[in-house]
Structure 1
Amino acid sequence: MNEFDKDYWEDQWSPATSGRERQLPVNPYLTAETAHLPVGTVLDAGCGTGTEAIWLAEHGWDVTAADISATALAEARARAAAAGLGEPVEWVETDLSRWEPTRTWDLVVTNYAHAQIGQLPLYRRTSSWVAPGGTLLIVGHLHGHHRDAHHGHDHPEGATATLEGITKLFDSPQWRIDSAYGHTRTVHPGGSPVQLRDVIVRVHRLT
C-alpha cells in the first residue's frame, strides 16, 4: 500500500501546497491521442483540479470527472464555472481504489493519477470502466527517478510504471494496443523547468 489516501491528496491540493501558479496546461498526450476519436462519454479518473475534464467538455465530450480530493474538486468546479461550459461536468468525489461505478464510458482517461493500491492495479480497475468498443488512455510516470511537476516531490516506486508492465495488462483478445511509448518533455510549473519522463498507452476494448 502507498501513501496516496484521502488525507494525502487533501494536503497536496491545498492552496498552501499546490499553488494556482503551478497549474499546467492540458496534457498534450490527451489532445494527440484522442483527436481521431468520435465524441461520446468520457471518464477522467483522477481529475485533480479539472484541466483535462474541462478541455474534454469544451470539445463536446459528455464528461464524468472523479477524484478523491474535495479540495481539488472544489477548484475544478470553480474553474469549470469560470470557463462557462455549455455542458456541465459531473464531478464525483470517490476513492478510485474502491469505487464501483454502475456504468461504463466510451473513453476513460487517467493522467498521472495515483491510488493506494499502486499503478498497475489502478490501471486494471480503470480498464473495467471502458465500454465495449471504447478506449482507455493511460498517461503515467515512467519508472525511474522522477519529480512531480505540481508538487516538486520524488515519487515512490509504486507511483511509477514501466511500458512493459502496463502493456501486459492488455495482452488478451479483449484488447488491442494502439499506442505504447515513453516520452520525455519539459514543463514549467511556477516558471521553473521540470523534466517529465512519461509512459503513454492507448488501448481499444474489442469486446
Structure 2
Amino acid sequence: MTDDNVSDAEFWDARYSQSDQVWSGNPNTVLVREITGLEPGRALDLGCGEGADAIWLAQRGWRVTATDISQVALDRAARHAAEAGVSDRVDWQRHDLGASFPDGVFDLVSAQFLHSLGDMPREKILRTAASAVAPGGVLLIVGHSGHPSWEHDHHPDVVLPTPQEVLEALELAEEQWEVLISEEHERIQIGPDGQPGTRTDNTLKVRRLGG
C-alpha cells in the first residue's frame, strides 16, 4: 500500500475522484495494434480504469469482462460504455486482483500497464491471468520497462521488469504456449513540466496452444 492507513482501493478511488478524467479516453496503442484482426470472442480486461480498452473491444464485437480495484473508475467506465452504446457487451466487476479474480476462461486476457505503488502481487496476478486463457487464446501484457527520463527519485516499491522477466515469472509450460511477441519499445511522452521525454515500455504476447 502507498500508506499504512490507506488501502489500494482507497488510494485509487481518491486518484480517480480528483478529476473527471484521468486517462486519455483512447484505447492503448499496443492493444489496438495486436488485437485488430482477431476473431472476437470473450475478453478479460485487467485494471480497466475508465474503460477505454473494454469499450473499444466491445465496439468490435468482443464480450468483455472488465475489472478494476476502483469503484469510482468502474462507475465512470460504465457511463462511458452507455454513451458508446455497448453496455450490454461489458460486465464491469470490482476486484482486488490479489485477493479475487473474475471467473471463466477467455479468448483474450489483456493487462495494460498493470502497475501499482502498493503491494499488489503482480506476478501472481499475471500467472492467474494466464490460467484464464482458453485454448487458442491470447494473453497480452503491456507494461513499463523503466522509469521515465524525467523521473530521478524512483519509488522503491515499483518494480518494472523486462519482457523476458515477465515471461519467466509466468512459469508457462513451453509445450502449451507460443511466444508471439517479446519486445521493448521506446516512446515519447510529455513530462509533468510540459516537456517531451522518453519512456521504455514492453510487450509480451503469448498464445495458448490448442483450440
Is the 1:146–1:154 Cα contact (8 Å) retained in structure 2?
A: no
CA contact (8 A) 2:42 2:106 kept: yes
Match of 1:174 among 176, 190, 195: 176
Query: Which of 182, 185, 188 in structure 2 is aligned with 1:186?
Result: 188
The CA deviation at 1:145 is 2.0
Q: Shift of residue 110 of structure 1?
A: 0.7
Deviations 1:43-97 (A, max 9, x none): 0011000010011011111111000100111110111111122743100011111
Taking structure 1 as the reference length, the TM-score comes to 0.84
Over 6 Å off, 4+ runs? none
Distance 1:63 1:158, change over 3 A: same
Which segments of 5 or more consecutive residues in structure 1 lack a partner in the other structure? 148-152
How many percent identity over aligned positions? 36
Which of 121, 129, 133 aligns to 1:130? It is 133
Unaligned runs of 5+ in 2: none
How many aligned residue pairs are there? 199
CA shift in 2, pair 1:131/1:85, >3 Å: same
| Cα distance, 1:22 vs structure 2 | 4.6
Separation in 1, partners of 2:28, 2:129: 19
Residue pairs, 1:1-207, within 5 angstroms: 3=2, 5-16=8-19, 19-20=20-21, 22-85=23-86, 87-114=88-115, 116-142=119-145, 144-146=146-148, 156-168=156-168, 169=170, 170=172, 172-187=174-189, 192=194, 193=196, 195-206=198-209
Amino acid at match of 2:202: V
Matched to 1:161, the amino acid is P
Any idea what the Cα deviations from partners look like across 1:120-178, whole Å, max 9, x if unmatched?
A: 22221211111122110001111x3238xxxxx95555342212211222362221110
**Cα distance in 2, alignment partners of residues 180 and 125 from structure 1:** 19
Distance (Å, rounded) in 2 between the aligned partners of 1:49 and 1:190: 21
- Residue 179 of structure 2 aligns to which amino acid in structure 1? I
C-alpha contact (below 8 Å) 1:176/1:206 kept by paired residues: yes
Distance in 2 separating the partners of 1:10 and 1:94: 13
TM-score, with length taken from structure 2: 0.82
Structure 1 residue 206, shift from structure 2 partner: 1.6
Structure ID, larger Rg: 2
C-alpha distance in 2 between matches for 1:54 and 1:178: 25
Structure 1 CA distance for aligned equivalents of residues 64 and 193 of structure 2: 30
Distance (Å, rounded) in 2 between the aligned partners of 1:74 and 1:154: 31
| CA 1:60–1:155: 2 relative to 1, 3 Å | farther
Deviations 1:175-202 (A, max 9, x none): 1110110111224599944533211000
The one of the two structures with greater contact order (alpha-carbon pairs below 8 A, sep at least 6) is 1
Contact 2:13 2:71 in 1 (8 A): yes
**Aligned mates of 1:26, 1:191 — CA distance in 2:** 25
Letter in 1 for 2:12: W
